[in-house]
Amino acid sequence: MAGHSKWKNIQHRKGRQDALRGKLFAKLAREIYVAARQGDKDPANNQKLRLAISKARAQNMPNENIERAIKKAAGGGEGKDYESITYEGYGPGGIAVMVETLTDNRNRTAADLRHIFSKRGGNLGEAGCVSWMFERKGQLVIDRETADKDEEELMLLALENGADDFETTEKAYEVTTSPEAFEDVKQALEAEGIAFSSAEVTLVPANKVHIQGEMLKDVFSLIDALEDHDDVQNVYANFDVDEEELAKYTD
């Protein structure tokens, strides 16, 4: 599992997302709003909206928040028009970073992200400079502490229902799918009573940079600052790190 994926899981277990739940819900609502505004308001006819709702529910976002975002999108022209823009750059240690945003002011967002990168040992690059290192995949992460099935049973269940890969780490099971198979695999696992610590279509790095020691603090400082920006929806990076090293940073 790539380092950033491990970091997101530790954030979840240590309650960082609870501390930032208001901001997290606001970003999820914006993603739902944009998906509904740009397509059918019925999730059954809008895959982008289904995925946004699935992502929100995986973070325990209340149904009323989800419904409010869809209703707002259905209300017509009074809402903001957001533009989806992906920025690419390099972080400390030469790691590749992809930043997905929804913004109503691209000049402001670009200037802010450039400042965040440069202040924390990185630099914002040109379009295409690192995207070739990433592939869009579905990822379903199951916390081993809460899983009520053993590893072999989970693996067979995932693979039989169309998953591409199944990986076991010290703390979690991670199921990888194609974007097209994501919903089918997720529904099949949910039907067996399996819960996820995260479930989303994401960008998975093909090439990874191993980092350790003080470099971890620099990398996480950049990622935290990017994720804290109101216009940023998702941040992906291609670093890898040993779980023991990661535990030292988060303890």
CATH code for the domain in which residue 105 is found = 3.30.70.980
Q: Do strands 165-168 and 198-205 pair parallel, antiparallel, or not at all (unpaired)?
A: unpaired
Residues 73-111 as b or e (16 or more Cβ within 10 Å = b)? beeeeeeeebeebebbbbbbbebbbbbbbbbeeeeebbe
Q: Do residues 116 and 145 both lie within one domain?
A: no
Q: Do residues 187 and 197 both lie within one domain?
A: yes
pLDDT of residue 16: 53
> 232 vs 87, 140, 164, CA distance in Å?
10, 22, 29
Q: Do residues 171 and 231 both lie within one domain?
A: no
Instruction: Name the domain boundary from 56, 74, 92.
Output: 74
Q: Do residues 111 and 199 both lie within one domain?
A: no
Q: Do residues 179 and 146 both lie within one domain?
A: yes
C-beta separation of 85 from 109 below 8 A: yes
pLDDT of residue 12: 47
Each as own residue / partner, the long-range contacts of residues 74-79 (CB below 8 Å, 24 or more positions apart, any chain) are 74/36, 74/41, 79/33, 79/37
Structural domain count, the chain: 3
Q: Do residues 191 and 137 both lie within one domain?
A: yes
Instruction: Name the domain boundary from 30, 55, 74.
Output: 74
Q: Do residues 55 and 65 both lie within one domain?
A: yes
Provide the residue-wise pLDDT of the chain in tens; the chain has 251 residues.
455 555 555 554 445 555 567 888 999 999 999 999 988 999 999 999 999 998 898 888 999 999 999 999 888 655 678 999 999 999 999 999 999 999 999 999 999 999 999 999 999 999 999 999 999 999 999 988 888 888 999 999 999 999 999 998 888 899 999 999 999 999 999 999 998 888 889 999 988 999 888 888 899 899 999 999 999 999 999 998 887 777 776 55
How many Å apart are CA 92 and CA 90, to the nearest integer? 7
Q: Do residues 221 and 120 both lie within one domain?
A: yes
Q: State pTM to two decimals.
A: 0.84
Which amino acid appears at position 101 of this protein?
T
Q: Do residues 20 and 66 both lie within one domain?
A: yes
pLDDT of residue 4: 52
CATH number of domain containing 44: 1.10.10.200
> 171 vs 9, 59, 194, CA distance in Å?
9, 18, 16
Coil, strand, or helix at residue 130? coil
Q: Do residues 147 and 201 both lie within one domain?
A: yes
Q: Do residues 211 and 200 both lie within one domain?
A: no
Q: Do residues 10 and 58 both lie within one domain?
A: yes
The residue range of the domain holding 88 is 83-132+207-250
DSSP letter, residue 89 = E
What is the C-alpha end-to-end distance of the chain, expressed in Å? 20
